[in-house]
A and B are shown apart, each in its own frame.
Chain A
Amino acid sequence: MEKLKRTRNFCIVAHIDHGKSTLADRLIERTGTLAKRDMQAQLLDSMELEREKGITIKLTPTRMKYNYDGEEYILNLIDTPGHVDFTYEVSRSLQACEGAILIVDASQGVEAQTLANAYLAIDNNLEILPVINKIDLPSARPEEVKGEIEDIIGVPAGHAPCISAKDGTNIDSVLEMIVKEFPSPKGDKEGKLKCLIFDSYYDNFKGAICLVRIIDGTVKQGDKILMMQTGKTYDVTEVGFFVPNMKVSEVLEAGDVGYIAASIKTISDVAVGDTVTHLNSPCEQPLAGYKKVQPVVYCGVFPVDGAKYNELKDALEKLKLNDASLEYQPEVSDALGFGFRCGFLGLLHLEIITQRIEREFNLDLITTAPSVYYKVHKTSGEIIEISNPSDLPSPVEIEYIEEPSVKANIFTPPEYVGAVMELCQNKRGEYKGLTYLDKSRVRVDYILPLGEIVYDFFDSLKSRTKGYASFDYAMSGFTRSDLVRVDILLNGEKCDALSIIVHKDSAYSRGRVLTEKLKKIIPRQLFEVPIQAAIGNKVIARETLSAMRKDVLAKCYGGDITRKRKLLEKQKEGKKRMRRIGSVEIPSEAFMSILKLDDDE
């Protein structure tokens, strides 16, 4: 049988925590791709952060070999992220596959992201193989869940393997089904080279690495290639695939998933979604590529140590390489100095990126409160888009403001419907409908302002439903709203990095909470410091930070000056982490703390 016919390219999609990475590990182990002793739990989640959070963020393709019916099959697994923020990355990897394993937790059943990811796969014309996981749990109800899959998603599930990725039950049947159910890739090995870059990352020795799916033709070391979108040309230095570590291969041909290294020095020269072809005999049409995604959440990112601006810039550049959705541009703040305003796909994305910068690049960051972008219609007729509260024009120049809203689907057990609706109502939601999916689950639909979601919606939803509700949303345009900017004044001076844009009705309560919180976080200063929240010139909340009274070293015993000096040096060192507004020193934590306004309530 020719190689193409013995190749299967597939991904695994699932709701978060339904066991995607565990199944991937089992497949790798069962096909003998890695010896058991080399396995570490959840192998494909290569980032420390991924293993820690139990989520997959980046895509990692792995080639496995599997013998079936006397033939050796090549199975290329392309792992995908599971969180709503990373839908974009999921859709990217789907384009490199012909099939998708849809994992559903045998006790949880179909969840928001099960549905969203299944639809994504269907939209990409992938063959879908449902797999019921976690049947080892006492609460497992595989037959009911199969019914849910058929009823809710509309995919036949009668033949779905019932497995436990954890203890290895029935993994072989999954492998068998992959071979039997998924189509082999179509493509012409003899044709002109056409391949899709579905991801990329930077390797310190080999330069930028393109993760590719070969559609037609072949590519090998020494080939001159052309990136059709950027127009850049390179000499291929190495091709290969992942097992799951990099393994050099002589050639990649139609149907293969692997990597191309070509001494690409500048990371920004690799555009994910671009088509790679041969310089001397290019294919006629590039692939459709990916559509650009629009960030939905913005925040300022600043180095705690102002001198590290350039290091932060390098870090963002490197991350941007394999995360096209990350956007950033330089920003200067009176309070925080030089930094960047960054755009993210959601709050988790924001959290992941900032944590990666801190860990992988060893930089301490200050991030400002997340904000969405607003369309400001000025009295002059001009329309501007702003994502930084500081950029909001003065009220007299504003005709009206529009804010982005989302269509939200909340899945919850029926007993929490009241609590969910109350929450949505509080968040200025517009009720759209209620659907009873089955005895135990209801879908509540609302239109909600995105700005309310980025504030504390996830946490509130979780706490009101004891963690049972899940939540999914899609952008749904702009809505005119009565919005104001609340500024924070410290000792009478405005601190730009603490400004927020909120609905007029919640301005007073947010101002109050903010000033109270800051009073707790800002250490006492030599002088009394008024902390005020204001809309324009009108003060809407005030707290007073009383003057510091005690900061003194006691006895200098027996001439031990060294100890005292060391303590003072340490104290001075600590001030590097402080920012100054006028004469007030603010610890960098204060800026972050307003992200979690409702901690104590």
Chain B
Amino acid sequence: MAIYLHIPFCESKCIYCDFASFCNAENEKVRYLKSLNAEIDNSPYKGREIDTIYIGGGTPSCVKEEYIEELLSTLRKNFVFSNNIEISMECNPNSVNLEKLKKYRSLGLNRISFGVQSLHDALLKKIGRLHNGEIALQAIKMAQRAGFENINADLLIGLPNSTIEGIIDDAGKLIQAGITHISAYMLQVEEGAKLYALVKSGKIFLPTDDESVAQYEALVSFLEKKGFIRYEISNFAKGQHECRHNLKYWSGAEYLGFGLGAHSYVEGVRKANARTFEGYYKGEIFMEKLTPKESIEEMIMLGLRCRLGFSKAKLFKHGYKIENNINFKTYLSKGILTENGDRVHLNPSYYGTSNYIIANLLP
């Protein structure tokens, strides 16, 4: 089983962010830690074996090391950690130092994910990041010195003023610095984010869809040349460094989420904690038991995002004969979908339009 821990604190909010994160919430930190510990202590799934943990945010690196230490020990107290457990944590390049990273390593963390987004200083400033390119590269070096082998960098595609050359340049430098994994996301303008208003009012201009797709495609072929495998729509890994935790989301495995806004999926039920401190402290949750139709939808949607694909037999077991879907046949004949025995995959050239295709395949 997998565990997700949410640390909802940030030093500053990035303009594109609509996640559950808060800055200037210094006073909340103590109370939040207490609640989070209590939530773990009260989990009905105590005693289960855990093989991946992901500490995300917010910015988990902006709280003290002891904070993380306490949470991990609460987890250890309540769950069984498997031998080869993967423990990842998200960090901002500007909120780590060698000491801190060494401490993380000693706590058992073995995967670091840096929110790099870009190495171009002007760009970073524009989107509200606190680091610059140099700090990001140094942070990677420090992580290596602290003993981390498995290091991810997040990249954002389609940022204002971004270019193909700039992105390839960034990727080259990151690979040279020794990262083993890249998550590359297209910038999404969410209504809840500051960016939304800036774009609406014409204060920020974004690349067109065609331009950002061209950037993405250039990045994909560059990464492939460098030996990175696109094992999921937006995730690229060198060698065996796929993020095992994230793979669980895509493959329909079970996971427990602790903390504000955290999601769980256990025994066919999806659960989400409230996204505000108040709601979280009161224990407000959203819960849904997946109907057979929803399970089918998720299998197709999640399966096609990954190299793994989905299983026709499994869909059929849930009551959906996808062979009868007219679009399915068309997509196979046009090479948009490929079949390998029971498994169906999306041709990676069509990852960019996967929504359109998936929507046409749903029951």
Question: Which of the 9-residue segments B94-102, B103-111, B194-202, B350-358 touches chain A?
Answer: B350-358
Q: Does A35 contact B (CB under 8 A)?
A: no
Report B-chain residues with C-beta under 8 Å of the C-beta of A549: 209-210, 213, 352-353
B360 touches A575 (CB 8 A): yes
Report A-chain residues with C-beta under 8 Å of the C-beta of B309: none
Q: Does B114 contact A (CB under 8 A)?
A: no
Q: Interface residue tally of chain B, by bracket?
A: 35 or more
Given A552-B353, A561-B298, also A568-B358 (CB < 8 A) = yes
A557 touches B19 (CB 8 A): yes
Q: Does A138 contact B (CB under 8 A)?
A: no
Q: Does A558 contact B (CB under 8 A)?
A: yes
Q: Does B193 contact A (CB under 8 A)?
A: no
In whole angstroms, how far apart are the Cα atoms of A571 and B353 in the complex?
13
Report A-chain residues with C-beta under 8 Å of the C-beta of B303: none
Q: Does B23 contact A (CB under 8 A)?
A: no
Q: Does B263 contact A (CB under 8 A)?
A: yes
In whole angstroms, how far apart are the Cα atoms of A583 and B329 in the complex?
12
A550 touches B185 (CB 8 A): no
Given A561-B265, A565-B298, also A555-B288 (CB < 8 A) = no
Render A527-567 as a binary contact track against B, CB cut-off 8 A, 1 for contact.
00000000000000000000011111111111111101101
A552 touches B288 (CB 8 A): no
A569 touches B297 (CB 8 A): yes
Quote the shortest CB–CB distance from B352 to chain A (angstroms).
6
Selected from A554, A561, A565, the residue in CB contact (under 8 A) with B263 is A561
Given A561-B263, A568-B362, also A554-B185 (CB < 8 A) = yes
Q: Interface residue tally of chain A, by bracket?
A: 20 to 34
B298 touches A559 (CB 8 A): no
A residues 555-601 touching B (CB-CB < 8 Å): 555-562, 564-565, 567-569, 571-572, 575, 583
B358 touches A562 (CB 8 A): no
A554 touches B234 (CB 8 A): yes
Q: Does B93 contact A (CB under 8 A)?
A: no
B263 touches A575 (CB 8 A): no
B residues 53-82 touching A (CB-CB < 8 Å): 54, 56
A559 touches B4 (CB 8 A): yes
Quote the shortest CB–CB distance from A15 to chain B (angstroms).
45
Q: Does A526 contact B (CB under 8 A)?
A: yes
Selected from A552, A561, A562, A583, the residue in CB contact (under 8 A) with B355 is A552
Report B-chain residues with C-beta under 8 Å of the C-beta of A564: 301
A526 touches B350 (CB 8 A): yes
Selected from A561, A567, A572, A583, the residue in CB contact (under 8 A) with B249 is A561
Selected from B186, B263, B301, B357, the residue in CB contact (under 8 A) with A550 is B186
Report A-chain residues with C-beta under 8 Å of the C-beta of B302: 561
B residues 1-31 touching A (CB-CB < 8 Å): 4, 6, 19
Quote the shortest CB–CB distance from A580 to chain B (angstroms).
10
B353 touches A565 (CB 8 A): no
B186 touches A554 (CB 8 A): yes
In whole angstroms, how far apart are the Cα atoms of A553 and B359 in the complex?
12
Q: Does B118 contact A (CB under 8 A)?
A: no
Report A-chain residues with C-beta under 8 Å of the C-beta of B257: 558-559
Report B-chain residues with C-beta under 8 Å of the C-beta of A567: 355
In whole angstroms, how far apart are the Cα atoms of A478 and B359 in the complex?
51
B249 touches A559 (CB 8 A): yes
Quote the shortest CB–CB distance from B360 to chain A (angstroms).
7
User: Which residue of the partner chain B has the closest CB to A571?
Assistant: B359
Report A-chain residues with C-beta under 8 Å of the C-beta of B351: 552
B355 touches A551 (CB 8 A): yes
B330 touches A565 (CB 8 A): no
Q: Does B322 contact A (CB under 8 A)?
A: no
Given A526-B356, A552-B233, A557-B19, also A568-B255 (CB < 8 A) = no
Quote the shortest CB–CB distance from B296 to chain A (angstroms).
10
Given A557-B19, A558-B56, A561-B302, also A550-B213 (CB < 8 A) = yes
Most buried by B among A552, A555, A569, A571: A552
In whole angstroms, how far apart are the Cα atoms of A560 and B6 in the complex?
13
Quote the shortest CB–CB distance from B218 to chain A (angstroms).
13
Report B-chain residues with C-beta under 8 Å of the C-beta of A561: 249, 263, 265, 270, 298, 302
Q: Does B188 contact A (CB under 8 A)?
A: yes
Most buried by A among B212, B249, B336: B249
Quote the shortest CB–CB distance from B189 to chain A (angstroms).
10
A558 touches B263 (CB 8 A): yes
Given A561-B298, A568-B301, also A552-B362 (CB < 8 A) = no
Report A-chain residues with C-beta under 8 Å of the C-beta of B362: 568-569, 572
User: Which residue of the partner chain A has the closest CB to B256?
Assistant: A559
Quote the shortest CB–CB distance from B183 to chain A (angstroms).
8
Report A-chain residues with C-beta under 8 Å of the C-beta of B263: 558-562
Given A551-B353, A558-B6, A565-B301, 11 more contacts at CB 8 Å?
A526-B336, A550-B209, A550-B353, A555-B234, A558-B261, A559-B265, A561-B263, A561-B302, A567-B355, A568-B359, A571-B355
B positions within 8 Å CB-CB of A: 4, 6, 19, 54, 56, 183, 185-188, 209-210, 212-213, 233-234, 249-250, 255, 257, 261-265, 270, 272, 286, 288, 294, 297-298, 301-302, 305, 330, 336, 350-360, 362
A positions within 8 Å CB-CB of B: 526, 548-562, 564-565, 567-569, 571-572, 575, 583
The 7 closest A-B pairs by CB, nearest first: A549-B213, A571-B359, A559-B263, A550-B209, A551-B356, A551-B355, A554-B188
